[in-house]
Amino acid sequence: MPEDQILDEFGYKQIYNDELLKMVRVREAKLTRNELSLEDVTLKNAVKLLEALHKVGVTLYLASGTDEEDVKNEARILGYDHLFEGGIYGAVGDINKEAKKIVLDRILNDIGDAKTGQVVAFGDGPVEIRETRKRGGVTIGIASNEVKRHSLNESKRTRLIKAGADAVIPDFSQLPKLLQLLNIKE
């Protein structure tokens, strides 16, 4: 490839983001036309978990490496943005300054060291698992098959265990047991 066609990290992130948003926009349109339901685009029982935690007064935060405005828009379209009273956080453009680690640091710093032991992070990537554990929080790795939106993805499971997940689950199909483990009464 000619040198003048080689992009910097921002150019490649833009290509990735544009392609991701194309897929997201197709799903959003199908949701709007009722061709897809919320269950078609979320992990099994994920929204029920959020609702159960919110109902008992748990402050929920959403952290993503995706650009913040896109994360907020998707949560709004899917109808669960109101559950995240702690806020919805994402990258704000500069991949060097707002990587997922920095997003998580923002949230954990807002919560404060005295309360990070009360934090439970659910995530499918090693960054959120590793960073939350460093601060004394409990971590639950989600090793999901993203195509099916349920069942186990073995390679994710391995990465999450190596990152130090306290528990690894494939999805939220065992929601009552998970809530019991978290000492949450429905």
pLDDT, tens only, 74-93: 999 999 999 999 999 988 76
Asked if 102 and 129 touch (Cβ cutoff 8 Å), the reply is no
In 97-153, alpha helices (H): 100-111, 126-134
In sequence order, the 6+-apart residues with CB closer than 8 A to the CB of 93 are 67
How many angstroms separate the Cα of 36 from the Cα of each of 33, 78, 169, 175, 179? 8, 11, 25, 23, 28
Please, which pLDDT band fits residue 99 given cuts at 50, 70 and 90? low
Domains of the chain, earliest start first: 3-181 (3.40.50.1000)
Quick one: which H or E segment has residue 25? helix 9-32
149 Ramachandran zone, left/alpha/beta (phi>0; psi -120 to 50): left
Please, which pLDDT band fits residue 96 given cuts at 50, 70 and 90? low
At 10, list the tokens: 């921002």
Give the CA radius of gyration of the chain: 17
> What predicted TM-score, i.e. pTM, was given to this entire model?
0.84
> What pLDDT was estimated at residue 157?
97
Query: 130-179 pLDDT, tens per residue?
Result: 999 998 999 999 999 988 888 899 999 999 999 999 999 999 999 999 99
Query: 19-73 pLDDT, tens per residue?
Result: 878 888 898 899 889 999 998 889 999 999 999 999 999 999 999 888 889 899 9
Closest of 96, 107, 115, 45 to residue 71, by C-alpha: 107
Asked if 146 and 164 touch (Cβ cutoff 8 Å), the reply is no
